[in-house]
Amino acid sequence: MIRRIALWSALITLPLLLLGAAAGGVLLLRQGGLAPYRVPSGGAITTAGDAAEGAYLARIGNCLTCHTVRGGTAFAGGRPFRTDYGTLYSTNLTPDPKTGLGDWSAEAFRHAMRHGVSRHGVLYPAFPYANFAHLTDADLDALFAYLRTLPPVEARPPPNDLRWPASWRGALVGWRMLHYRPAPLPPAPADAPPEWLRGRYLVDGLGHCAMCHGTRGAQGSLPAEGYLAGGRIPGQGWYAPPLDARQLARYDVDQLADYLVTGNGEHGAAYGSMAEVVYTSLRHLRADDARAMATYLKSVPAHGGEARPDTGRFLYAAAQPVANPHNGGRLYQDHCASCHGDGGEGRGRDYPPLRGAVSVTAPDPVNAVRLVLYGGMPPTTDGNPRPHSMPPFAGRLSNAEIAAIVTHIRRNWGEQDRPVSAADVAAYYGIRGD
């Protein structure tokens, strides 16, 4: 009897086990097989890379921003990143042997950048290795050569504060099997000009634009179909618009290149996360690289065909719109029109038009609400050394009044009919500190 049960159990479970193993094998292959986990050991520490070019690439790749805590030593790490799974801290990139990259080989650096695995284990995907995988050997060696010129700083980031299973690096192998699909850049059109190719290399590689401008899938993943399709930036409290031919139709290539470098333009100034990217990175772009990025970005096919993206219903606090006793049009006249114009047309480069602005047209109202709540000061750049600021209204207007204004401008100049409620404003209230 017992033998018969054992036989039948084996007959049922064995195929299941085999099936599971086969599926696991396939998933493992699709995230790059076992090669990513073979971290090179030994090898030369020094590299023949061009450190001066590396300094530029580190700027453009924005290594500095993520790997420096506010007011701390450059590249010594420790900046917190809040995710749905807890808080991560960036690592020390200075050549300190104990706490930094002091005894890393050029080969180990290339491997970590391309595969997201180092001697410390699998790296969290807040590190954009999916983008850095596209970098050439020469650029990776230049970056490494530059990092080796930094003064070594002994600084250990605080331990990550993540919930299980995210706290266990081994779980990242499972995440990669489910969500990570490394692939070289698709073949370029035969007639693609060098400028387009360079632009794509910067946007998809070092620039890692998709980390903010991609639509996230399950568990913080960046599926291919969400490529530059826009969405809420994890942990930042801002919405990043899609980057494609339709979204960027307002700009010609020169205007867009100018916006990237100056953080300002006819259609408004950079704010939120983009202000940081401009201030710490893009303002250092060489003119030809800025043009290349603009050229490529404007060529990205419009997402969702001709239909407007409708993700709005996921991004409001209240399931049902609530009646608002305030007159948004009158409040707009009292508080906003003197700068933004009666018809939301703006005034010059210093008072941006609201008509067609991302904050007004986006399915997600978070940018509009937070700009009205806390105002803004665009990044100072050579092209915009003395920016005009926008005053904060938190504390001066009630949540319901702010909701009425945002609803008014989005209805009239953004074709976004869904009203923003006082509950939405309350949900976006508060500035998240470091």
CA distance 246 to 224: 19
The type of residue at 405 is I
Total number of residues binding another protein (CB under 8 A)? 31
Residue in the structure block whose two tokens are 């916006």? 259
Residue 339 engages another protein in binding (rule: CB under 8 A): yes
Can you tell me whether residue 189 is helix, strand or coil? coil
Instruction: Find the binder of another protein among 202, 209, 248, 390 (CB under 8 A).
Output: 390
Would you say 216 or 335 has its CB closer to another protein? 335
Q: Which residues contact 298 (CB under 8 A, 6 or more apart)?
A: 245, 248, 251, 253, 256
Helix/strand/coil for 424? helix
- 70 lies in the binding site for another protein (CB under 8 A): yes
By CB under 8 A, the residues from 104 to 123 that bind another protein are: none
396 makes contact with another protein (CB under 8 A):
yes
Q: Does 394 bind another protein (CB under 8 A)?
A: yes
* Segment contacting another protein by CB under 8 A, of 38-46, 310-318, 321-329, 379-387: 379-387
Contact between 385 and another protein (CB under 8 A)?
yes
Closer to another protein by CB, 295 or 384: give it: 384
Q: How near is the Cβ of 322 to another protein at its closest, in Å? A: 27
**Closest CB to another protein among 136 and 333?**
333
Q: Among positive and negative, which fits the CA dihedral 106, 110, 111, 116?
A: positive
Residues 6+ apart with CB under 8 A from 392: 373, 374, 375
DSSP track, 325-362: -S-HHHHHHHHTHHHH-TTS--BTTTB---TT-HHHHS
Q: By C-beta, is 292 or 369 nearer to another protein?
A: 369
Is 389 a residue that touches another protein (CB under 8 A)?
Answer: yes
SS3 assignment, position 384: strand
158 part of the interface to another protein, by CB under 8 A: no
Q: Does 273 bind another protein (CB under 8 A)?
A: no
Output 173 or 425, the one with its CB closest to another protein.
Answer: 425
301 binds another protein (CB under 8 A): no
Should residue 398 be labelled a site residue for another protein when binding is judged by CB under 8 A? no
Q: Which of 154, 55, 58 is nearest to 102 (CA)?
A: 154
Q: Which of 276, 289, 364, 424 binds another protein (CB under 8 A)?
A: 276
Q: Which residues contact 338 (CB under 8 A, 6 or more apart)?
A: none
State both tokens at 221: 């993943």
Interaction between residue 89 and another protein (CB under 8 A): no
Q: Does 348 bind another protein (CB under 8 A)?
A: no
Q: How far apart are CA 209 and CA 28, in angstroms?
A: 27
CA distance 1 to 253: 78
Q: Taking the complex as a whole, how short is the minimal distance between the CB of residue 64 and another protein, in angstroms?
A: 13
Least CB distance to another protein at residue 233 (A):
16
Question: What are 288's two structure tokens?
Answer: 């030809």
Choose one: 22-30, 112-120, 382-390, 402-410; the region binding another protein (CB under 8 A). 382-390
Give the x/- contact pattern for another protein in 30-69, rule: CB under 8 A: ---------------------------------------x
Residue 249's alpha-carbon distances to 156, 294, 302, 352, 421, in angstroms, are 45, 11, 10, 17, 30
Q: Is 377 in the site for another protein (CB under 8 A)?
A: yes
How many C-beta neighbours within 10 Å does residue 126 have? Answer: 14
Cross-strand bridge partners of residue 331: none
Category of 375 on φ-ψ map: left (φ > 0), alpha (ψ -120 to 50) or beta: left
Position 187 contacts another protein (CB under 8 A): no
Chain residues 412-431 in contact with another protein, contact rule CB under 8 A: 431
Q: Is residue 72 a contact point for another protein (CB under 8 A)?
A: yes
The single residue among 80, 121, 375, 383 that binds another protein, judged by CB under 8 A, is: 375
- How far is Cα 89 from Cα 66, in angstroms, rounded to an integer? 9
Are 267 and 356 contacting, i.e. CB atoms less than 8 angstroms apart? yes
Stretch that binds another protein, among 26-34, 94-102, 300-308, 389-397 (CB under 8 A): 389-397
Instruction: Return the structure tokens found at 49.
Output: 């890379």
Taking the complex as a whole, the smallest distance from the CB of residue 339 to another protein amounts, in Å, to: 8
Structure token pair of residue 195: 């400028």
Binding residues for another protein, rule: CB under 8 A, are 69-72, 275-276, 278-279, 339, 350, 374-380, 385-394, 396, 431, 433-434
